[in-house]
Structures are given as C-alpha cells and as structure tokens.
Amino acid sequence: MEITNNIKYIGVYDEDIRIFEGQYPVSKGISYNSYLIKDKFNALLDTCDERVIDKWLKNLEDELGSDNLDYIIVSHLEPDHSAGLKEVATKYKNAKIYMTLKASQMLDLFLDIDLKNRIVTVKEGDSLNLGEHNLKFIMAPMIHWPEVMFSYEETSKTLFSADAFGRFGDINELTPYEDEAVRYYTNIVGKYGNQVKNILTKASTLEISRICPLHGPILNNNLSYYINLYLKLASYESLKPGVLVAYASMHGKTKEAALYLKDLLDKENIENKIINLVEDDLSYGVGYAFTYLNIIILSPTYDGDIFSYTKDFLNRLKAKNVLGKKISLIENGAWAPISNKLISDFINNNLKNITINETLTIKVGMTQTNKEEFKTLVSSLK
C-alpha cells in the first residue's frame, strides 16, 4: 500500500488475535504497522509481531524487489514490533540498524542474534539522509518504553510516531477512531501523560502532513483533532462531561440499580457508558474513566471490605493515574454496608484531585427513597 510514491505500508493487520499484549481484548484484532521508504538508500521502519513474520516479510520483499535494504530503523523494541528484526537482519546482511542507545542496551534481552557491529545509536536531533528523504530522530522515552524514538521525514512531512496515535482494530482511517484509540492510549500509555506532553510539545514545532503510528490507521486528515485528543488525554483532562456507571452485583439488585440509573441518564440525554466490573474487561472501564468527567460506582460490601472486583477497578484507576474526576458512590449491603467509606478512603489515599460528589446506600433492593435520591444525583450531573 502506498502512503506516498516512495513511502510504502508493509505492515500486517492481525484480524485473528483476540488478546493483545497478553491482557487486552481486541475483538477486531490489531495491526502491526511497518513502513519502507524507497530512495537512493532504502530504509525500513520497524518490523512486526512473531504471529505475522512470514506475511510481513513477503510484503517487504514485494516492495523491495531486487533492491537493497540499506537501513533498518527500530523505533520500539517491544516484541510486537521487533520480532521480525532477526529475520530481516539475517536476510539483508548489509543493512545498518538505527536505534536509541537505550534500545541497543536492551536488544540482547529480546533477540538471540549478535548485531553489535551493525548498530548505529542515535540521539535527539540526529538525522539520516536517504537521498530525497531525510529522517530526523526524536527521542520519545516512556511512550511507552524507555528506549522509544519517533522519526520525522522532512520531505514528506511524515511523523513516524511509534506507539503514539495507535489504535486497536484495523488500519482503515474511516473506522471510528476515538473509543478504541482512547482505550489503547489510556491503558498502554495513560500513566505517562507528562512524557507524552513533552513529546507533543516537541512535535508541535514540526509541520506534519501525516502521522504513521505502529498500530491502527495512518492519519492523513484533520491532524489537529488527533493531536488535541492526545494533548487532552496526556493532561488528564476529561474528554466529555458524561458519566461512566461502573457496577458490581452479586444477586442482581445492584445491577438493577445501575440500570435504573442508566435509564435516568438516558432520559436526561446525559451521555453515559455502563460497565459490569465482573463481566467486562477493565480496560474498557479505564478508557471511559479517562473520557468522562463523572464516575458512579455501585458496589456491594463483601467480608466487611470492598467487593474484590470493585477493588480491582480502583487499583486499575490508580495504576493508570486517573485524576480530576467527580465520583459518586452507591454502596449495597444488608446488615453492615461499608463500601462507601472504604472506597472514599482508597480514593483519598491513592487518586489525585477527585471530588466525592455523592454517597448513597441501598439495602439489598432499591426503595422509593433510593429512586428519588438517584434522580437528584442524576440532576446534579447535568
């Protein structure tokens, strides 16, 4: 696939994978993007996951034909992008391999091939001239590993952005971007907002015509939308004023309350998402928690403690550095409900800049009073 006359997409869309990175469900798979710049000297940018090496290598061979491969650029060593490095370095023995110093120090951990004599380490601002194209290297530590770098191709104004601006799913730019890009970003890079902001600040000095990430679509249009989306996420700014309803339910009564709340939110035209903390993957909850300003947590008390699935969710919010939210709590318990106090304590001790908006109690099933309280709660979220 052509990105420009001389920049080719040679990545592979892995439709069959169902769990990415050993943890994230990807119902529509994920792509491992890889690019070839054809010029006086030919340069490959990144390889692929071991699941697709044969297909990827064929894509590379088809585009290169009988030409040489002169350079291999390693933006990121994580195995979903470096598993093909051994094969390509073995096949194209004269290709020099460009990477950060940190990547060169980590390389042996991932590949059982000695490439030391072929490695060129680069630092911020170094460049590599290919003829008409000129690559400038931009250090991008902790997006989302320490050895990462971006490359900016000056002639075509193309930013090769490693994992940044990636998305789960296919590479079609027309597939809705935001939900799966936000779930991807917040779960994988969410903790590193400050580092992301630093890179975006550096990138803001560049004139960018397209962004080529290592996953998902190549972004050709409306780049300010994507950059602003990333800036907001990196700043831990809620994207929308809506509500995430996150519930756990043992015998169905807390679920009934959650659905009742969702119905009230819908009737008030307040955008919302609902997740079952036991049945739904928490990565969705993290994505929605970054997206919406308000979170309502409904949870049973269990063993005099926070219900364990609710605790998992809270720990995930802490791990991904979710902050700046308005959280309402609804506990359920027949004889000694204590979730609200324990969850409030957790939030106050572990999450930053959170307002506890409302704390309500259900004793098994909703009463008429509870329903009135819920209406008042929903009104407060308009």
Residues that bind ligand FEO (CB under 6 A): 76, 78, 80-81, 144, 163, 214-215
Secondary structure element (H or E) that encloses residue 135, with its range: strand 134-139
| Minimum CB distance to ligand FEO, residue 12 (Å) | 13
Considering the complex, what minimum distance in angstroms separates the CB of residue 327 from ligand FEO?
A: 30
Q: Where are the alpha helices (DSSP H) in 320-353?
A: 339-350
First-to-last CA distance in the chain?
47
Nearer to ligand FEO, 47 or 104 (CB): 47
Q: Is the CB of 76 or the CB of 167 nearer to ligand FEO? A: 76
**Largest distance between two CA atoms of the chain:** 77
What is the rounded CA–CA span in Å between residue 319 and residue 339?
20
Question: What distance in Å separates the CA atoms of residue 169 and residue 40, rounded to the nearest whole number?
Answer: 34
**Would you say 127 and 151 are in contact if contact means Cβ atoms under 8 Å apart?**
no
Q: Amino acid letter at 327? A: I
Smallest distance from the beta carbon of 14 to ligand FEO, in angstroms? 12
Nearer to ligand FEO, 81 or 262 (CB): 81
| Residue closer to ligand FEO, measured from CB, 38 or 76 | 76
> In the complex with ligand FEO, which residue's Cβ is closer, 144 or 326?
144
Q: Is cis: bond before 144, omega within 30 of 0? A: yes
Is the Cβ of residue 20 or residue 226 nearer to ligand FEO in the bound state?
Answer: 20
- Nearer residue to ligand FEO within complex by CB, 99 or 130: 99
CB of 124 to ligand FEO, least distance (A): 20
Question: Positive or negative CA dihedral for 110, 113, 117, 119?
Answer: negative
Nearest CA to 45 among 127, 162, 144?
162
Look at the block and give the residue holding tokens 């110093």. Answer: 101
In 38-126 the beta strands, taken as DSSP E runs, fall at 43-45, 71-73, 96-100, 119-122
For ligand FEO, which is the closer residue by CB, 80 or 180?
80
Secondary structure in 3-state letters for 280-303: CCHHHHHHHHHHEEEEEEEEEEEC
What gap in Å lies between CA 80 and CA 65, rounded to an integer? 25
CB of 329 to ligand FEO, least distance (A): 34
Measured between alpha carbons, how far is residue 160 from residues 91, 154, 163, 239, 338 in Å? 24, 11, 9, 25, 50
* Closer Cβ to ligand FEO, 81 or 311, answer by number: 81
CB of 80 to ligand FEO, least distance (A): 5
The minimum distance between CB 352 and ligand FEO, in angstroms, equals 25
Residue nearest ligand FEO, CB atom distance:
78
**Closer to ligand FEO by Cβ: residue 210 or 215:** 215
Query: How would you classify the pairing of strands 149-153 and 134-139?
Result: antiparallel
Nearest-approach distance from CB 332 to ligand FEO, in angstroms: 39
Task: Please count the helices (runs of H) and the strands (runs of E) in the chain.
Answer: 12, 21
Is the separation of the CB atoms in 317 and 351 below 8 Å?
A: yes
- Min dist CB 76 to ligand FEO, Å, is 6
Shortest CB 21 distance to ligand FEO, Å: 7
